[in-house]
Amino acid sequence: MNDIKFQERIDAEKKIEPKDWMPDAYRKHLIRQISQHAHSEIIGMQPEGNWITRAPSLRAKMILLAKVQDEAGHGLYLYSACETLGISREELVQQLHEGKAKYSSIFNYPTLSWADMGAVGWLVDGAAIVNQVSLQRTSYGPYSRGMVKICKEESFHQRQGYEIMAEMAKGTPEQKAMAQDALNRFWWPSIMMFGPQDSDSPRTGNAMKWKIKRQTNDALRQDFIDKTVGQAEVIGLTIPDPDLKWNEERQSYDFGEMDWDEFWSVVNGNGPCNKQRLAHHKKAHDEGEWVRNAAKAYAKKQELVAN
């Protein structure tokens, strides 16, 4: 196998599996993207975990707890998919702790009220679904199969968030104001999740050539906006973008300019919660060391017994 044959396989829509030959750059590209995706799922548990003890009812608490546990499961599928590319979990976590691996910018914003649980589920999971439905057709087999399972759970998450927003929007004026405030704060960071504009996205070229990404950042962002505007209208909330306007010719919404300085500042470690999120992850990781050691010792004992 060589680069040309590999590209022919990709062009023929054949999946690449762990033991197949692949160019080193393809392997590295996947390790970067899948590990960042895994880290996002795990770090994404923090802003929501913040509200488990303060959920307003037992029902709301059970649902949120299940959702946060699902995110842990998604992280584990993705770490496993990434490990099939020849890197260990320890190395992946170390890259996160050393700031060499990123995670989604969205999780560096604080969750200030219960309505934020609605906004995160509705918008953040909604954006994640749009991105991940597209990734179900990614060229790397284990990543693609992981996405199918994850998308099923994400659609429950999106509905959980939308239900919170819908309930609050038809509640007291104070509740409706809280829902609108959460939408105001989460709208722009949510559409930034799709990454830089195509013209500023250095990874898109190879990602599209290798069919790792099936749609560009801008195409997915537009799809998300077109799906979400009507959902806001139905529950009587207003998207905080004065330039948002239906474009009859394009059959799509035109929308305002994103604050790219804010985006890059958050991506480069200077968002409102970057330091707190990483410090919390490191602390939990250190405190969990005895669990990992115990699991390893148990596995070793089982191996000895078997032999």
Site mask for ligand BYC (CB under 6 A), range 250-269, x = bound: -----------------x--
Q: How far is the CB of 156 from ligand BYC (least distance, A)?
A: 12
Choose, by CB under 6 A, the member of 44, 118, 142, 161 that binds ligand BYC: 44
Cβ closest to ligand BYC, residue 36 vs residue 180 = 36
Which residues is 252 bridged to in the sheet? 247
Q: Are 61 and 52 in contact (CB under 8 A)?
A: yes
Q: Does 70 bind ligand BYC (CB under 6 A)?
A: no
Choose, by CB under 6 A, the member of 10, 22, 31, 33 that binds ligand BYC: 33
User: How many residues are present in the chain?
Assistant: 307
Cβ closest to ligand BYC, residue 143 vs residue 176 = 143
Q: Does 217 bind ligand BYC (CB under 6 A)?
A: yes
Choose, by CB under 6 A, the member of 31, 71, 119, 239 that binds ligand BYC: 71
Q: Does 125 bind ligand BYC (CB under 6 A)?
A: yes
Q: Does 281 bind ligand BYC (CB under 6 A)?
A: no
Q: Does 126 bind ligand BYC (CB under 6 A)?
A: no
Q: How far is the CB of 303 from ligand BYC (least distance, A)?
A: 34
Q: Are 127 and 191 in contact (CB under 8 A)?
A: yes
Cβ closest to ligand BYC, residue 180 vs residue 190 = 190
Q: Does 203 bind ligand BYC (CB under 6 A)?
A: yes
Q: Does 221 bind ligand BYC (CB under 6 A)?
A: no
Q: Does 104 bind ligand BYC (CB under 6 A)?
A: yes
Q: Does 63 bind ligand BYC (CB under 6 A)?
A: no
Q: Does 27 bind ligand BYC (CB under 6 A)?
A: no
Q: In sequence order, which residues have a C-beta less than 8 Å from that of residue 247 and are 6 or more positions away?
A: 253, 254
Q: How far is the CB of 127 from ligand BYC (least distance, A)?
A: 7
- C-alpha 83/C-alpha 153 separation (Å) is 22
Tell me which stretch binds ligand BYC (CB under 6 A): 18-26, 173-181, 203-211, 288-296: 203-211
Q: How many residues bind ligand BYC (CB under 6 A)?
A: 28
Q: Does 144 bind ligand BYC (CB under 6 A)?
A: no
- C-alpha 287/C-alpha 23 separation (Å) is 38
Tell me which stretch binds ligand BYC (CB under 6 A): 35-43, 57-65, 160-168, 237-245: 35-43
Read out DSSP for the chain? --HHHHHHHHHTTPPB-TTS---HHHHHHHHHHHHHHHHHHHHTHHHHHTTGGG-SSHHHHHHHHHHHHHHHHHHHHHHHHHHTTS--HHHHHHHHHTTSS---GGGGS---SHHHHHHIIIIIIHHHHHHHHHHTT-SBHHHHHHHHHHHHHHHHHHHHHHHHHHHHHTS-HHHHHHHHHHHHHHHHHHHHTT-S-GGG-TTHHHHHHTTSSSS-HHHHHHHHHHHHHHHHHHTT---S-TT-EEETTTTEEE-PPP-HHHHHHIIIIISSSHHHHHHHHHHHHHHTHHHHHHHHHHHHHHHHHH-
Provide the binding-site residues for ligand BYC, judged by CB under 6 A: 32-33, 36-37, 40-41, 44, 71, 102, 104-105, 124-125, 128, 131, 192-196, 201-204, 207, 213, 217, 267
